[in-house]
Structure 1
Amino acid sequence: MTENRVVVTGYGVTSPIGNTPEEFWSSLVNGRIGIGPITRFDSSDMSVHLAGEVKDFPFDKHFVKKDKNRMDRYSLYAIYAALEALDMADLDMDEEDPDRVGVVVSSGIGGLEEMEEQIIRLHERGPKRVQPMFLPKSLSNMGAGNIAMRIGAQGICKSVTTACASANDAIGEAFRSIKFGYQDVVLAGGSESSITRTGVAGFASLTALSTTEDPNRASIPFDKARNGFVMGEGAGVLVLENLDHALNRGATILAEVVGYGNTCDAHHMTSPLPDGSGAAKAMKLAMKEAGIAPSDVAYINAHGTSTQANEKGESQAIVAVFGEKTPVSSTKSFTGHLLGAAGAVEAIATIEAMRHSFIPMTAGTSELSEDIKANVVYGQGQAADLPYAISNTFGFGGHNAVVAFKRWEE
């Protein structure tokens, strides 16, 4: 079987630090975090009061009022990012074979906002008052389905739900679909909008969320004082293409996807393997498929959630595979944790880092924990030559997904 090279020709993003790739990257370079007081609901009776909310979402650019009645917020985010990605890629669906264009856009939870609203309505007002669109709005596959319907893509269409690894698994699935010739173009990524009373209360009850009141010190990956992650929201969607297809239509190529690794810890519902061995295997698999050695990787965008167990294991995994010199940073320090959308937004951050030869800092982090031996970039970002980079995501259930990228060079 002929194996195709797979390239990235566009991406769209909506996030706590920007609703365009340019604004998003500028925030990473200039240290503008997107974490602040929760405004979606009254959190005064909770122990958690901060989140990374999307700000000034440009709803009117792609939607009309009735779309809010037909789609949960996470679907709106997904469609927005997909349409922005198509625009950046300058891809005209009227010139494509719709059977050769797919969508793999994931969500860790789906329409939690809609679920919460309708369950409360059922409890307070009875079954006849539940809205007819409740289930179509809340299902976790509807982000992908709504994108496909909006653009007319009739190829592969799925949502891979692996908690916080979902978006990287979506990119990996899309990558393999093109690599092995099943599709020419796939829109891949993730979307999440779970900053609701249920979402925050649920993670808080697991003691997974930071209770810090200072936005600048709430999401502090690898820091000695880290005490939990910050809920974030948003979406990232990348246009992946067969290299020949992209060259034939004169597309601008942003990066190449060269490897994907997926493993399971098979250890615990919420905690990773303490030694990080499952994560290490996923990183090795991604590099094996890419045909590169650890010494070729110049930057690692870490999962880095600002939780004790996750980062100790991830640091051990990175050191075991790469040693203590490869630069590492976590952009969740800017956005909070976007759950099922994290991998897509962080893939965009990783590609932007490669394109600009610059490693974003881990914002807010000021003193590394004694159990962190990885080379964490904090205090300020740093210029660097980045021919290859990887992006890590790890999810509840023991899911590990790693994607390897190559800087595009003609």
Structure 2
Amino acid sequence: MNVVVTGLGTTSPLGGDVASTWEAALAGRSGVRTLENDWAEKYGVPVTFAGQLVVQPSEVLSRPETKRMDPSAQMAIVAAREAWADAGFGEDGVDPDRLGSIVSSGIGGVWTMLTAWDTVRDRGAARVLPLTVPMLMPNSPTAYVSLEFKARAGSHSPVSACASGAEAIGMGFEMIQSGRADVVICGGTEAAIHPLPLSAFAAMQALSKRNDDPQGASRPYDVSRDGFVMGEGAGVLILESEEHAKARGARVYAHVLGVGMTADAHHIAAPEPNGAGQTKAMELSLERAGLTTADVAHVNAHATSTPVGDMIEARGIRALLGSHADQVLLSATKSMTGHLLGGAGALESVFTVKALETRQAPPTINVTEPDPELQVDLVRDTPRALPAGQIAAINNSFGFGGHNVALVFGA
């Protein structure tokens, strides 16, 4: 069964919707900035910048909605509403028994959990909000999306660290192919710009500490890269069986052609040094799509800007594509958005679909001296044109725990 993308939604460090986010991405603008808080002084947090949302959910949602949802769920609802409207469902909508919801988060309601603990410690257990558990649970975003759109075919939330959003889209693809649903609202969300996650990632030496140059801190594939930049936001795609989309005359952005999922089984945080699991995920995605490497024109890389991880992925892409890698345009959009953790694969799927639709590969910024080991054509500073005709693009997402997900889109 063919699966298509009929709706897109996001709220991100580049914009409050898809149009503004994509415009900023093509312009090569950074969404990273210095945080306006006293965390560094009060707690000694060593990183003072992140990719924060341009439009806060409180500017879009009602006060009762923000009070009963963790920020991660708020972001998911904002993106889901945009995607649903973009898909053009009329008053009849979709048969609820044929509609699914799969929205993931890598960390979940960290703001709710830690705020509740502060309440217990400072004011006593009796002052904890009754909705604390429904707000902090990692399936809260998909549950609220399911409630909003009456999605009864199934509501799921795979938690696989930074691969979570991409895995949700892969599961949505499989949910439709298996016949469980005609339409699935799927994607990822994350709201973890909080002193604890920042401190913990910094302790792992995972974060860039370029406090004096926030916008230049995320530098995928540059020889001076020193870690990722925390980001926040959500991305949501409406996936639909092609038959269902045609029956209602829906506009189709792209086809979802294949998904590959593997596990490194190597280390709780570090990727397998040879990138075998990553390459295998890409191979499986193309095999399932019925494509060869010659069909691939574009890759949106995971590329977090870490000294080790970037080149493991780049070598894997080269190993997969061989000499055809010279004709493939590589983009590393985390250079502009920061790393949305569980939301990253979803936002970058939005970018991948938009790249196919507009035939423009978005740029990678902040790369002044590319790593000499890089053997794929990196799009730097300004967008580059993708070829006409039928082409395919891969979106890679990898996560702590050794999770590897590769999605193939085609148009």
What are the superposed Cα offsets for residues 186-209 of structure 1, whole Å, 9 maximum, x if unpaired?
Answer: 001001000001111111111100
Counterpart CA distance in 1 for 2:86 and 2:58 is 18
Runs of 5+ unmatched residues, structure 2: none
Counterpart CA distance in 2 for 1:25 and 1:128 is 46
The count of corresponding residues between Structure 1 and Structure 2 is 403
Runs of 5+ unmatched residues, structure 1: none
Corresponding residue number in structure 2 for 1:401: 405
Residue correspondence of structure 1 range 222-237 to structure 2 within 5 A: 222-237=221-236
SS in 2 for 1:94: coil
Corresponding residue number in structure 2 for 1:306: 305
- Contact persistence 1:267–1:398 (CA under 8 A): yes
SS in 2 for 1:147: helix
Q: CA deviation at 1:379?
A: 3.2
Verify: 1:189 aligned to 2:187, yes or no. Answer: yes
**Which stretch shows the higher mean deviation, 348-357 or 39-48?**
39-48
Root-mean-square deviation (Å): 1.3
Residue correspondence of structure 1 range 280-359 to structure 2 within 5 A: 280-323=279-322, 324-325=325-326, 326-359=328-361
Aligned-residue sequence identity (percent) comes to 40
Counterpart CA distance in 2 for 1:41 and 1:379 is 33
Instruction: Give the direction of change, closer, same or farther, for the CA distance of 1:15–1:363 in structure 2 (3 Å limit).
Output: same
Corresponding residue number in structure 2 for 1:25: 22
What are the superposed Cα offsets for residues 16-55 of structure 1, whole Å, 9 maximum, x if unpaired?
Answer: 0011111111111111110001136533422111100002
Residue correspondence of structure 1 range 210-289 to structure 2 within 5 A: 210-213=208-211, 214-289=213-288
Name the amino acid aligned to 1:226. R
- Contact persistence 1:262–1:402 (CA under 8 A): yes
What are the superposed Cα offsets for residues 113-158 of structure 1, whole Å, 9 maximum, x if unpaired?
Answer: 1111111222223322222221111111010000111111111101
Corresponding residue number in structure 2 for 1:376: 378
Counterpart CA distance in 1 for 2:8 and 2:172 is 14
- Contact persistence 2:10–2:82 (CA under 8 A): yes
**Which stretch shows the higher mean deviation, 315-324 or 202-211?**
315-324
Q: CA deviation at 1:93?
A: 6.4
Corresponding residue number in structure 2 for 1:91: 89
Residue 117 of structure 1, aligned match among 97, 115, 121:
115
Verify: 1:15 aligned to 2:1, yes or no. Answer: no
What are the superposed Cα offsets for residues 32-89 of structure 1, whole Å, 9 maximum, x if unpaired?
Answer: 110001136533422111100002235454x221222211011010011111101000
Counterpart CA distance in 1 for 2:303 and 2:147 is 35
Corresponding residue number in structure 2 for 1:73: 71
What are the superposed Cα offsets for residues 315-372 of structure 1, whole Å, 9 maximum, x if unpaired?
Answer: 1100100134122111101100000000110000011111111111111111112333
What are the superposed Cα offsets for residues 141-188 of structure 1, whole Å, 9 maximum, x if unpaired?
Answer: 010000111111111101010000001110000001111211000001
Counterpart CA distance in 2 for 1:58 and 1:118 is 20
Name the amino acid aligned to 1:310. G
Residue correspondence of structure 1 range 45-84 to structure 2 within 5 A: 45-57=44-56, 59-61=58-60, 63-84=61-82
Normalised by the size of structure 2, how large is the TM-score?
0.95
Corresponding residue number in structure 1 for 2:157: 159
SS in 2 for 1:96: coil
Counterpart CA distance in 2 for 1:223 and 1:116 is 36
Q: CA deviation at 1:380?
A: 2.4
Counterpart CA distance in 2 for 1:41 and 1:54 is 19
